Homo-oligomer: A and B are copies of this chain.
Amino acid sequence: MALMDICADCAVRDQALCGSLDDRELSALNTLGQRRRVARGESVIWAGDESVICANLLSGVLKLVASTADGREQIVGLLYPADFVGQLYADQADFTITALTDAELCVFPRKAFERVLEDHARMEHLLLQRTLLALNEARGRMLTLARKSAEEKIAGFLLDMASRAGSSGCRATPDGPLTFDLPLNRGQIADVLGLTIETVSRQMTKLRNAGVIGLPGGRAVTIADRTGLAVRAEAG
């Protein structure tokens, strides 16, 4: 049956909220869910619009953007595969959600998903735990945004991205040099860290000149001296 197929070949079947459901329960969600591809740069949800959909992210990276009336922007969260997308129990969306890379979603009508949640305590419990984690992360980020220097912000960000890239590759050498591609361009990094493009660029070359990282070209970064980076992330 076609409906079952969309979960059968789901790359995040076990990591996403759906992981809490058995095959029988999953079929209920199946009738609601719909696969959707979005291109890099395309928005999934606009701040201010009615909150009608939510989704599981299957592949790609999304950004969660808050902005002022006069157009200043701040990325308040990044969403990775298996993350839950959207605002439940809210009439309006507070943040704009846009694809940073081509991405694939499993989209649900918001209200219908909330109803499913009501009947599945384990799934709601998982969502609670994720939300608590996200809240802690957001609060940690408040400290970074408000109190850390540009150098500390960049160093911390690169460590974050490295651990994320490293975990998926499951490297044998946790302390050796690691090279990976950033999913964000300089402007987006600036939007994450509350800086400007120029400051991001300058700090990156400063770290390269210090021999702590390498910048082989494109969006690639190599972590040459992880402890050096960690030191700069903590005090500056």
CB distance from A234 to the nearest CB of B (A): 5
Any B CB within 8 A of the CB of A2: no
Q: Decide: A95 and B135 in contact? CB cutoff 8 A.
A: no
From A22-30, A126-134, A162-170, the one touching the partner chain is: A126-134
User: 8 Å CB contacts to B: which residues of A89-104?
Assistant: 89-90, 94-95
Q: Decide: A67 and B235 in contact? CB cutoff 8 A.
A: no
Identify A142's interface contact among B76, B89, B134, CB under 8 A.
B76
Any B CB within 8 A of the CB of A88: yes
CB distance from A203 to the nearest CB of B (A): 16
Q: Decide: A94 and B147 in contact? CB cutoff 8 A.
A: no
Any B CB within 8 A of the CB of A141: yes
Any B CB within 8 A of the CB of A66: yes
Name the interface size band of chain A.
35 or more
A222 to B131, CA, bound (A): 37
Any B CB within 8 A of the CB of A19: no
CB neighbours of A146 from chain B (8 A): 74, 145-146, 193-194
Q: Decide: B147 and A73 in contact? CB cutoff 8 A.
A: yes
A146 to B118, CA, bound (A): 37
The answer to whether residues A94 and B124 also contact, given A66-B142, A142-B74, A143-B66 and a CB cut-off of 8 A, is no
Any B CB within 8 A of the CB of A125: yes
A68 to B140, CA, bound (A): 10
Identify A68's interface contact among B94, B125, B234, CB under 8 A.
B234
CB neighbours of A77 from chain B (8 A): 139
Q: Decide: B128 and A124 in contact? CB cutoff 8 A.
A: yes
Q: Decide: A94 and B194 in contact? CB cutoff 8 A.
A: no
Q: Decide: B140 and A66 in contact? CB cutoff 8 A.
A: yes
CB distance from A63 to the nearest CB of B (A): 12
Q: Decide: B135 and A131 in contact? CB cutoff 8 A.
A: yes
CB distance from A23 to the nearest CB of B (A): 23
Quick one: closest B residue to A73, CB to CB? Answer: B147
12 contacts between A and B (CB under 8 A): A64-B139, A67-B143, A68-B234, A72-B143, A76-B142, A87-B136, A124-B125, A124-B128, A131-B135, A134-B135, A141-B142, A147-B194
Told that A70-B235, A128-B131 touch, could you supply 6 new A-B pairs with CB distance under 8 A? A66-B139, A74-B147, A76-B140, A121-B121, A124-B124, A142-B142
